[in-house]
């Protein structure tokens, strides 16, 4: 029977081509949008982890309550002991301290007077150690545009866009004006080693990167850091594992009565992306539902049109004694065949388009000029195992529902009218 139905579908394209194209188009869009959303979400998570929070983040309890304000007066102290403890206890992560800070970058003229000034947001990281994970996490070497990488204390990197705004060149002097851990004014002279472009809007507009030891000296934070961030060694955010590590650490170290006791949070909780991640997760389900409903309606109409065209065929099959249920079931099998074929074709096309955008990406920098979101200017799709199967649910379900609804009319045929219809 299946072989007979397949021959009928191949030989009578008028009853299979249109539903096949509809299914293929719908599945293609479903697969592509899923890969695109996965890529955008992955890019946001990766950028947020690399430039802000890590996959997990340790700070003082008081600091965590005001983390958006970067309150370095509430920073961690004696970090060497804490970092060593974290590296020994949680060996599947890299651990590194950071100092986030803000201030003014002052560019002097030949006489030492202020020529240009601009507000900056900076990160103090371990730049002078060859095995520092920051070289990879901040993508520093590929991001270098002009000059060279810092090789000694007193050198910093500045965003290329900021450097052009300040009309500054690598090798020039710059003075950072900020505040110490204790609230007093701080001035620290740097040499601009090079300029960088990260491809992340907020970083490219105002970021500077200095060595952690220099910032500890400048801000009077000896053996101190605002945060100790941890990264999984495969550079992927494993939420369940991160939550387990955070719970284990907090049980052992958090003292509710001590506002300076260390507390660990995950990327989800520290970054403020929890609601967004939930929204994106549910959005994929919404997309699938919309396509299933929309394609079911289209295929229902196609089924009704096909039934009208096949009115005589169905009547003849009923007139020669074929059971109504058998006719209905054969139409359902036809719909499943079309659904499977359309889903396979749509998946292949959708994956091909997604893979192209995974390799080449799509530059949205012009739309992100004033954005404060930590997301790369180049969005790439992400093809993953689920991408190859997600389209089969709407593709097969929609054709099945469409045929089921339109085929109900078979049961309404009156046998007494069949021969009259066949005479016309």
Q: Is the pLDDT of residue 309 over 60?
A: no
Helix residue ranges, H only, 119-219: 134-137, 140-143, 160-166, 201-206, 212-218
For residues 105 and 100, what is the distance between their CA atoms, to the nearest angstrom?
A: 15
Looking at residue 403, its pLDDT comes to: 72
195: pLDDT confidence band, cut at 50, 70 and 90?
very high
Indicate whether 193 pLDDT > 90. yes
Higher pLDDT, 288 or 228: 228
Across the range 356-382, mean pLDDT stands at 69
Residue 375 burial (C-beta neighbours within 10 Å; 0-12, 13-18, 19+): buried
Q: Which of 47-56, 83-92, 403-412 has the lowest mean pLDDT?
A: 403-412
Q: What angle do CA 122, 127, 131 make, to 5 degrees?
A: 140
- Please say whether the beta carbons of 352 and 24 come within 8 A: no
Highest mean pLDDT among 27-31, 333-337, 402-406: 27-31
Give the closest residue to 287 by CA, choosing from 111, 78, 72, 34.
Answer: 34
Contacts (Cβ under 8 Å, ≥6 apart) of 87: 95
Enter the tokens of residue 324.
Answer: 């109504």
What is the overall mean pLDDT for the chain? 81
Q: Judging by DSSP bridges, how do beta strands 224-225 and 76-77 pair with one another?
A: antiparallel
User: Greater confidence, 5 or 179?
Assistant: 179
pLDDT digits (tens, 9 = 90+) for 139-179: 888 889 999 999 899 999 999 989 999 999 999 999 999 99
Output the pLDDT for position 416.
53
Domain boundaries, the chain: 2-47+275-423, 56-236
Tell me the C-alpha distance between 6 and 140, whole Å. Answer: 58
Do 10 and 275 contact (CB within 8 A), yes or no?
no
| Residue 308, Cβ density class (10 Å: 0-12 exposed, 13-18 middle, ≥19 buried) | exposed
Is the pLDDT at 228 greater than 90, yes or no? yes
78 three-class SS = coil
Instruction: Say which residue, 349 or 382, is predicted with more confidence.
Output: 349
- Pull the structure tokens for residue 76: 């961690």
Dihedral pair phi/psi, residue 190, rounded to 5°: -125, 160
Q: What is the token pair recorded at 249?
A: 């650490």
Residue of 116, 121, 97 lying closest to 208 (CA atoms): 121
The arithmetic mean of pLDDT across residues 18-35, rounded, is: 82
pLDDT of 351 strictly over 70: yes
Out of 169-173, 175-179, 225-229, 273-277, least confident range: 273-277
For residue 67 the two structure tokens come to 């983390």
The confidence band for 95, taking pLDDT boundaries of 50, 70 and 90, is: very high
Q: Is 420 helix (H, G, I), strand (E, B) or coil?
A: helix
Give the SS3 label for residue 118: strand
Q: Per-residue pLDDT tens for 197-215?
A: 888 777 888 889 999 999 9
pLDDT of residue 294: 72
Least confident of 54-63, 77-86, 369-378: 369-378
**What are φ and ψ of residue 219, in 5° steps?**
-105, 15
């Amino acid at each position: 029977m299946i072989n007979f139905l397949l021959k009928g579908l191949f030989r009578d394209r008028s009853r299979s081509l249109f539903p096949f194209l509809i299914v293929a188009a719908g599945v293609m869009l479903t697969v592509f949008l899923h890969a695109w959303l996965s890529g955008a979400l992955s890019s946001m998570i990766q950028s947020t982890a690399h430039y802000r929070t890590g996959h997990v983040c340790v700070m003082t309890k008081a600091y965590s309550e005001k983390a958006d304000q970067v309150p370095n007066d509430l920073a961690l102290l004696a970090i060497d002991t804490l970092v060593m403890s974290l590296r020994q206890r949680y060996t599947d992560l890299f651990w590194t301290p950071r100092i986030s800070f803000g201030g003014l970058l002052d560019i002097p003229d030949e006489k030492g007077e202020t020529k240009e000034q601009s507000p900056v947001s900076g990160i103090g990281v371990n730049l002078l150690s060859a095995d520092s994970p920051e070289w990879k996490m901040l993508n520093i070497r590929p991001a270098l545009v002009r000059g060279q990488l810092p090789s000694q204390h007193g050198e910093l990197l500045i965003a290329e866009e900021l450097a052009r705004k300040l009309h500054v060149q690598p090798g020039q002097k710059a003075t950072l004006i900020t505040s110490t851990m204790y609230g007093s004014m701080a001035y620290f002279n740097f040499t601009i080693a090079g300029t960088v472009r990260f491809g992340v809007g907020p970083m490219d507009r105002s970021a500077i990167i200095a060595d952690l030891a220099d910032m500890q000296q400048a801000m009077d934070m000896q053996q101190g850091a605002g945060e100790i961030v941890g990264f999984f060694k495969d550079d992927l955010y494993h939420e369940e594992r991160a939550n387990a590590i955070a719970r284990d650490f907090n049980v052992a170290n958090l003292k509710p009565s001590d506002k300076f006791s260390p507390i660990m949070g995950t990327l989800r909780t520290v970054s403020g992306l929890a609601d967004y991640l939930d929204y994106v997760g549910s959005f994929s389900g919404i997309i699938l539902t919309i396509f299933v409903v929309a394609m079911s309606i289209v295929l229902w109409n196609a089924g009704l049109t096909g039934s009208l065209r096949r009115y005589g065929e169905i009547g003849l099959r009923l007139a020669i004694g074929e059971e109504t249920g058998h006719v209905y079931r054969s139409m359902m099998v036809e719909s499943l065949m079309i659904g499977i074929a359309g889903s396979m074709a749509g998946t292949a096309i959708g994956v091909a388009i997604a893979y192209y955008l995974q390799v080449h990406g799509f530059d949205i920098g012009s739309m992100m000029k004033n954005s404060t979101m930590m997301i790369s200017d180049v969005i790439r799709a992400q093809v993953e195992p689920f991408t190859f199967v997600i389209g089969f649910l709407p593709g097969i379900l929609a054709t099945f529902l469409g045929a089921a609804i339109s085929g109900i009319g078979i049961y309404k045929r009156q046998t007494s009218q069949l021969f009259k219809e066949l005479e016309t």
